[in-house]
Structure 1
């Protein structure tokens, strides 16, 4: 039982916010997603609160099971929810927008302000040679690849693939996954390894998305997106990072001055 009687049950909280958002004309998926986010921000849903089962929640809101699953799956990927197999779905830890973002400075057309950015770790692996080799130079140990899904104010999602020389940054494989969430990785490269990024340059072109990337961006395979390749250097013009950045179409302008924090 909740100690604070002013806080609604999870089912009632979600329902109240969901129907409040109805007049805005959002899709049912976006309406459910936004209702949970607002309930979390207002303290009506708290860390470790258990949500109703998916079917029960869909029936309560008069939406399909597929729509319910899509919305909850998106929130789980973004860290708002935690799904425990056979147990249920729970509210996750509150999120904090990335501070001092370099490459994801999108401007809200309504306010002219940069939108908050959130990053979710997809995975880390060691890979061999590829297009990044020309930028980073040969490395006998290979290269660390860090994949993240970047949510822009929960409006749309980008995908980042960051490649680092393993001989310099092997410790990135041992850093707890939670520390790679909602953080500018360049700060870790500087603070943990002593390699500040002092310069970043990039080129861009339109590409059709492969299924894996499209799924992470909530787009259909083969959709068009902007692919930006970014080369990072440290002191003495030493290359230290190669990044692939995938950006979907949106009405938000991307600040392309990759020289530091906003």
Structure 2
């Protein structure tokens, strides 16, 4: 746990003149979320009490309570009666794989998958990812990989991340990323829980590059799935695009909301 002095430093920005026009509780909510994301408070850590936060900040107890309620509603903070407020635990331990799951013949278990990283590069310009990372133009990284499903077909995956949030994925050797369960690394690296997963799926015609990567022909139709993992209301952990060839296999889309909770340490 951070020292009291360091905790006071977290709120120093709130003493400066503010010209944003944002409500006080929104400003406090933003500062708390930034501190959690930066690792000042980690999953399972207890936050200062409402009274302590009111003393550390220039805001009233009512403003503090409203900010904490907002973080609770977003799933970032959990309140335990008689114990206080805690940073919610990450709960990313789900059946592998998380997104690219296809049912086996029994209709219950999932087919094995094998991943290989093709490239990693910095991203410039605008695209579908801009919606999720509007302020990360200098820090956005794209990891392109292929996922082979049971030796039957290949899925092309484009994985976008902010290197400030997931530095290990942006720096690790490419060979070490082959076959890596990204969600396990993310669970170990994140200081804030994933609170929402979004999925959008439509049918597209593959371009030449996608066809080559998936072993299909340009112009053939396939599924295009977008998946974004969010922490809180607006902060994106990662955004992925899956190009899936036509297959008789049934794709399983995971639950939208990972289970959240506090575990004693």
Residue equivalent to 2:202: 205
> Secondary structure of 2:164's partner?
helix
- Equivalent in 117, 120, 142 of residue 124 of structure 1: 120
- Larger relative contact order, structure 1 or 2 (CA cutoff 8 Å, min sep 6): 2
Please report how far the alpha carbon of residue 99 of structure 1 lies from its aligned counterpart in structure 2 after TM superposition. 6.4
Residue equivalent to 1:191: 188
Residues in 2 aligned to 1:163 and 1:219: alpha-carbon distance in whole angstroms: 24
> Secondary structure of 1:136's partner?
coil
- Equivalent in 167, 170, 173 of residue 173 of structure 1: 170
Residues in 2 aligned to 1:228 and 1:143: alpha-carbon distance in whole angstroms: 20
> Secondary structure of 1:188's partner?
helix
**How many residue pairs align between the two structures?**
164
Residue equivalent to 2:217: 220
1:109 has 2:144 as partner:
no
Residues in 2 aligned to 1:236 and 1:99: alpha-carbon distance in whole angstroms: 25
> Secondary structure of 1:150's partner?
strand
Q: Could you state the TM-score of these two structures normalised by the residue count of structure 2?
A: 0.56
Alignment of 1:73-152 (within 5 A): 100-109=96-105, 112-128=108-124, 129-152=126-149
8 Å Cα contact 2:102-2:249 kept in structure 1:
yes
Change (3 A) 1:235 1:100: farther
- Equivalent in 242, 247, 257 of residue 244 of structure 2: 247
Please report how far the alpha carbon of residue 168 of structure 1 lies from its aligned counterpart in structure 2 after TM superposition. 2.3
> Secondary structure of 1:167's partner?
coil
8 Å Cα contact 1:144-1:170 kept in structure 2:
no
8 Å Cα contact 1:226-1:247 kept in structure 2:
yes
* Cα RMSD for the two superposed structures: 2.4
Q: Could you state the TM-score of these two structures normalised by the residue count of structure 1?
A: 0.57
Residues in 2 aligned to 1:208 and 1:140: alpha-carbon distance in whole angstroms: 28
Higher helix residue share: 1
Gaps of 5+ in 2: 1-93, 260-265
Residues in 2 aligned to 1:145 and 1:232: alpha-carbon distance in whole angstroms: 15
Deviation string, structure 1 residues 137-187 (Cα, Å, up to 9, x no partner): 221424100101000011111111011123323442321223211122122
Please report how far the alpha carbon of residue 215 of structure 1 lies from its aligned counterpart in structure 2 after TM superposition. 0.9
Please report how far the alpha carbon of residue 258 of structure 1 lies from its aligned counterpart in structure 2 after TM superposition. 4.3
1:256 has 2:244 as partner:
no
